[in-house]
Structure 1
């Protein structure tokens, strides 16, 4: 629908200042091109790890910089206070100011459009009194995820310097924080923290090996944690900030940027999960505008507007994230069939693990180019590709993709137990209503987004694409134009055909079951059954005669026999 382009077009037509946040620097170029076409003054926001010459140049000090940055000290603060932190200037400052710091010296009012990464939304100067567009869901960009040891050490270090709270260290706080005698003191401390004063930058603390600027927020979370029914813990910290903790004591802190400072914010997402957007933006004030508000309109959009023809197999869920369930034979049968049927090789979207397994087999010769799900956000790589295959569905760790997001919303989510008493899985996987919505967000919607990556740019003589979906994980409203069944050959069948095609009598001779069995690990009787199957499929013909009225098999079209299987 061109939503990204039209955000820039809106800035040109209204004259309003716009800031765009997206996922990767590779996507900035497209925005720069659009701004130039519209005659807009734009600036790509300077990024610490990209602009600073000290980073990535194998300087001995780089590791110490990274440690300090991970402790919550900003790149700008590291440069401004380099002598305090390191006793000397940074290598990038020896011949004058660092180019990163120089590029930060600009007035946002001088630019119609600012372009940057999701994380840069934390800098209030980039959003204040500007309109903001967030291109696609930012995922976990606004998460801070310390380990248990990092969090508890930071809290203990903070408590040693914080006289207001009556706790000596993490263990003392964990044991006594909810005692009534401390209620007044703790309440006063929380009030003094204020909405966004969650950082501690005291010089004395920064010299500690366990310093962390987010220690006040971690301490606040430790005081507020409540136990959910699934053994996760949840703490509401104000201003949209939320902390959750797993049963294994791994922490996640959600810190939304100060979007309240913007004139307004638009979230661009073709397949949104509203609850997750509400969480990452830090408020309940989202207005959801559906462009296509019925299932019929959505189907018309896929078929008539995008020109997509979807052919879907009966493959089931095919969760391919881990790589342990990749079925190379089934995938090969489909890709080989597509190659033969369409006369060209498809572009493939699958998991990173499946891509690697294809490279070590004959499957790769039926793939034009492959990409994995994790590298698709905002990508136009297949914008002019007319033939594609989506193989398998993404299935990220449930703790991160479903249970954690539920916990951040204060909901306890876990897999349901079926009527047979077993935990649900496969196409019967069930997390309950809200949990299923979160799961669909990272599975069914990702598969649909992958399909819609094809043929986004029509040409003069071509429009649309044919896309094969080798997974059943599609939104319920999507209706395939064609249903396919993929059947793979058994190991014995491959051996039998190989023996025939390798024999001296190939291709015009005759073969009996015993002759074939002698060249394979398959017995006479099983060879007979496999040859009858080939006969039914039209690959061979037979006559009967001689001793015992034996079968004599002849080649009909075994040269067309596919390596992996067949598609019906």
Structure 2
């Protein structure tokens, strides 16, 4: 396993920590990381200058640097920093962006055909080289000279460029890595992890077995049912060791058959299924002969293959992450990874509340996990009550961050009338979109489902399963790797959302409607009381507004045609509104006379009492 270190180099006390001193310590950690003879993970909170720090390092040392990231806007930011430091740079070419055929310039049919073969495992270069065999004609992007994608590849092949900027998958290209210092900016969640649906696996394996008469299986079902019988597993391993020890890709099968429904990784799929170890939690694990790792769920037969890039030729490797899940980074960069936490947890508390001047107001003790697909657990009515109350309290509209599914539901309910913008968790890392925004609300915590957690644990060879009876704060998967993945998916994603706001050191306030926050984060207020009105309460409120009288009795409300609750229920609703300060009651007369006090301020969906009100 890797090592974890906390930076204790600063002699400054927590009380004197400043934004500048925090950034200086981040820069020192980056400098030290590049000097190490093993990969180093720099764990530094957002706005500490991680990304700009690697450019400063390149300018000061003159060493060649390659940066791998995901966001095109960050590519432009890196280029701007390079220009300020007088560093030469190149954007590494993107097949989907730079090839005019693949990006749709020559029509949607061409775009779909190109991406279909790319999805089958052919590289962008292979598709261009084999275009005539695949399509019976040259690609439109090649008709009037060389494709922009291919010509850009030649330009970026030069070794004398100070900084190369590209996508994570460019790390698979050896000359982008060899002899250079490498940076991974944030964790590449799915870029080195390929997901194969059961249909794709079945077609690829069936095709492969139909062309290989030595392996002891006829088709995918035969492989699944009989892989452990007799000596078939041993025979399979021996045959691969003799004839295909590196599990070589098979682009030829796709090109010759013009078949984008199979895959170049068919050999690896056969090996992964044949040699699988049962983890006894409905997951299988295989260490492939070429060093890759594969896991497969027996529930849905989806196969995942983790293929970390070869970094042996790099002079140094540094990973940057504001909220890292260390076991996932170790799966990518190796067990020798050193985890360098720049600030202690106490210093982090100070950094967030004093250096960045972020006021974090937690509004619930519940974790409120929102399922990724079906949105289970989302309480839109409560969320709207809180959003409207925050707008009224702060005299401005907030920005809403939540899960993708919840965001869609809130937008359908017209949340745009109460917020200035919305965003979802999956589109936040590395984003500076809300750096100048002073008011935000984060609702709910992400939960991608138990299979997501189990899958990452399986990639580490661990068997994880939700411990019966655990949920929310007590949720436990019975394995340390799985629980770290859970924390990264939940608490770390919420923290990332919180820290999108006010990153310039000016005060910002973020309301957090989930308890999924790291314990070290300072809460600025006690929890508010949030009440959502029942249907009965809404009927009473409609009746009050409809009466258009200065005073009224319980009987006046009960007799209103829209009210279908008892006089006792009406009295309870009126008492609640009085307790909240919206109504007055004259109990010196009989029957009691009710009147409005702050009637126009009553929210349609509910009411919030904030700390101190």
Regarding TM over 0.5, the answer is yes
Provide the residue aligned with 2:251 in structure 1: 201
| One of 307, 314, 318 as aligned partner of 1:262 | 314
Verify the 8 A CA contact 1:20 1:114 in the aligned structure 2: yes
Verify the 8 A CA contact 2:385 2:603 in the aligned structure 1: yes
Provide the residue aligned with 1:500 in structure 2: 544
| Larger RCO (CA within 8 A; separation ≥ 6) | 2
Verify the 8 A CA contact 2:205 2:220 in the aligned structure 1: yes
| One of 576, 580, 583 as aligned partner of 1:537 | 580
Provide the residue aligned with 2:202 in structure 1: 152
Provide the residue aligned with 2:609 in structure 1: 567
After TM superposition, the structure 1 = structure 2 runs for residues 65-76 of structure 1, keeping only pairs within 5 Å, are: 65-76=114-125
Verify the 8 A CA contact 1:76 1:101 in the aligned structure 2: yes
After TM superposition, the structure 1 = structure 2 runs for residues 74-223 of structure 1, keeping only pairs within 5 Å, are: 74-106=123-155, 107-162=157-212, 165-174=215-224, 175-176=226-227, 179-180=230-231, 183=234, 186-187=237-238, 189-190=240-241, 193-195=244-246, 198-202=248-252, 206-207=256-257, 209=259, 211-223=262-274
- Secondary structure, counterpart of 1:260 in structure 2: coil
- Secondary structure, counterpart of 1:221 in structure 2: helix
Provide the residue aligned with 2:435 in structure 1: 383
1:240: Cα distance to partner?
Answer: 4.3
Verify the 8 A CA contact 2:464 2:479 in the aligned structure 1: no
Provide the residue aligned with 2:500 in structure 1: 453
| One of 479, 495, 518 as aligned partner of 2:559 | 518
1:545: Cα distance to partner?
Answer: 6.0
- Secondary structure, counterpart of 1:448 in structure 2: helix
Correspondence 1:288 to 2:339: yes
CA displacement, residues 189-238 of structure 1 (integer Å, 9 cap, x when unaligned) = 3265455x531233687416354211121122122101112021100014
Q: Distance in 2 between matches of 1:181 and 1:69?
A: 33
- Secondary structure, counterpart of 2:410 in structure 1: helix
Provide the residue aligned with 1:421 in structure 2: none
Correspondence 1:319 to 2:360: no
Q: Distance in 2 between matches of 1:278 and 1:96?
A: 44
TM-score (norm 1): 0.91
Q: Distance in 2 between matches of 1:146 and 1:206?
A: 22
Q: Distance in 2 between matches of 1:352 and 1:413?
A: 26
Provide the residue aligned with 1:50 in structure 2: 97
Question: Are residues 537 and 40 of structure 1, via their aligned partners in 2, closer, same or farther at CA, if it must alter by over 3 Å?
Answer: same
Provide the residue aligned with 2:29 in structure 1: none
Provide the residue aligned with 1:36 in structure 2: 83
After TM superposition, the structure 1 = structure 2 runs for residues 475-490 of structure 1, keeping only pairs within 5 Å, are: 475-485=518-528, 486-490=530-534
Verify the 8 A CA contact 2:237 2:275 in the aligned structure 1: no
Provide the residue aligned with 1:398 in structure 2: 450
Verify the 8 A CA contact 1:146 1:252 in the aligned structure 2: yes
Q: Give unmatched runs, 5+ long, in structure 2.
A: 1-47
- Secondary structure, counterpart of 2:323 in structure 1: coil
1:262: Cα distance to partner?
Answer: 1.7
Verify the 8 A CA contact 1:190 1:220 in the aligned structure 2: no
- Secondary structure, counterpart of 2:558 in structure 1: helix
Q: Give unmatched runs, 5+ long, in structure 1.
A: 419-423
CA displacement, residues 166-200 of structure 1 (integer Å, 9 cap, x when unaligned) = 544444544256644773673353265455x5312
Q: Distance in 2 between matches of 1:150 and 1:325?
A: 33
1:39: Cα distance to partner?
Answer: 1.1
What is the aligned-residue RMSD (CA, Å)?
2.2
Provide the residue aligned with 1:425 in structure 2: 471
Q: Distance in 2 between matches of 1:360 and 1:409?
A: 40
Verify the 8 A CA contact 1:23 1:377 in the aligned structure 2: no
Instruction: State how many pairs are aligned.
Output: 550
Q: Distance in 2 between matches of 1:203 and 1:337?
A: 61
Q: Distance in 1 between matches of 2:153 and 2:484?
A: 41
1:132: Cα distance to partner?
Answer: 0.9
CA displacement, residues 65-119 of structure 1 (integer Å, 9 cap, x when unaligned) = 2232122110111112212322221111111211111111123313111111112
- Secondary structure, counterpart of 1:482 in structure 2: coil
